[in-house]
Amino acid sequence: MSLLKAVIKKLGIILLTLLLVSFAVYAAFELIPGDPALSKLGTDATPEALAALRHEMGLDKPFIFRYFSWLLSCLKGDFGISLSYGRTVSSMIISRIPVTVFLTLFSTLITVVVSIPVAVLMTKYAGRFFDRFTYVVNQLVMSVPSFFAGILFTWFFGMILKLFKPGGYVSYDKDLPGFLFYILFPSIAVALPKCAMSVKLLRSSILEEADKDYVRTAYSRGNSTMQVMYRHVLKNALIPLVTFWSMSVADMIAGAIVIEQVFNIPGLGRILLSSIQNRDYPVVEAVIMLIALVVVVMNLLSDILCKKIDPRLKS
């Protein structure tokens, strides 16, 4: 199967996945106890006022009619009006997307830049003190949740070293360098567990590849250890790691949601949590659909990249 056909097939799967996710998300809020109209007006509201607001929100219409109406609006880029703020959902999300995107990209970049050289060094000194010591540290880092690492960073780098002001978020549209420096620490907190997992996975993958016949053939042709590592072994060992990184994006976004609370960052995480508390369903549904879109797109890019690294996967 050609790469183009594989991409077209994958796009079809993506569209079907997003359709199923949209239905599941919309149905979930239909089943969850609670009334958005009651949450907005309060328990002292009269039945007439509640009925009028439900009619205004369209909550008095059948479920399947409301779902398809919402789905058609989403396809046009209209995610509705926030029940809590009275603003369009699109405008609320667009203003928060750059913050979470920068945070996730920084975390991914840190994971890639740190994990590859550390894993290569561990395999180079496999069985020696450096490998064993790094393995123990790696296990410790892997066991620390990102939100706890964020709290430690806030205490140490913020309160003791005074490198940044805890809770003193700097907006990207006012001071971009200040914004990038502020989100550096939460990005590291999100990336640390993924770095540790990536190092462990890549180390095992490199050691497995190093025992294969093509490696001995490469050495017999006069290649140095570095040439064999970077031209042959690492290229093949990266395939499972690329898949892991694509799957980690969803975890990083989830980690970013929690970290945004720790560092007082106004990203998608804060608006998602506040909307869940206020039963602002249009906002929650839009954010979840956006996260689902990112996940399926990253899986598509992962498949394409893996096929580029190893042409044998195209068949």
CA–CA gap between residue 74 and residue 68 (Å, rounded): 10
Q: What is the pLDDT of residue 246?
A: 79
CA–CA gap between residue 238 and residue 202 (Å, rounded): 7
Nearest residue to 299 via CA among 99, 4, 13, 75: 13
- Per residue in 72-115, pLDDT (tens digit) is 888 888 888 887 777 888 888 888 888 888 888 898 899 989 99
What b/e sequence results for 208-236 when a residue is b if at least 16 CB atoms lie within 10 Å of its CB, and e otherwise? ebbeeeebeebeeeeeeeeebbeebbbeb
Task: Give the amino acid at 279.
Answer: R
Residues contacting residue 130 through CB under 8 Å, at least 6 positions apart = 121, 122
Q: What is the pLDDT of residue 64?
A: 86
Nearest residue to 149 via CA among 102, 107, 208: 107
CA–CA gap between residue 98 and residue 180 (Å, rounded): 11
Q: What is the pLDDT of residue 258?
A: 81
- Per residue in 207-245, pLDDT (tens digit) is 888 888 787 887 788 777 777 777 778 888 888 888 888
Q: What is the pLDDT of residue 136?
A: 92
Residues contacting residue 305 through CB under 8 Å, at least 6 positions apart = 242
Residues of the chain with pLDDT under 50: 1, 315
Q: What is the pLDDT of residue 133?
A: 92
In three-state form (DSSP H/G/I as H, E/B as E, the rest C), the secondary structure along 8-27 is HHHHHHHHHHHHHHHHHHHH
- Token match 């790691």: residue? 241
Q: What is the pLDDT of residue 35?
A: 67
Domains of the chain listed by start with CATH number: 3-75 (no CATH), 89-314 (1.10.3720.10)
**What's the angle, vertex CA 86, arms to CA 90 and CA 77, rounded to 5?**
20
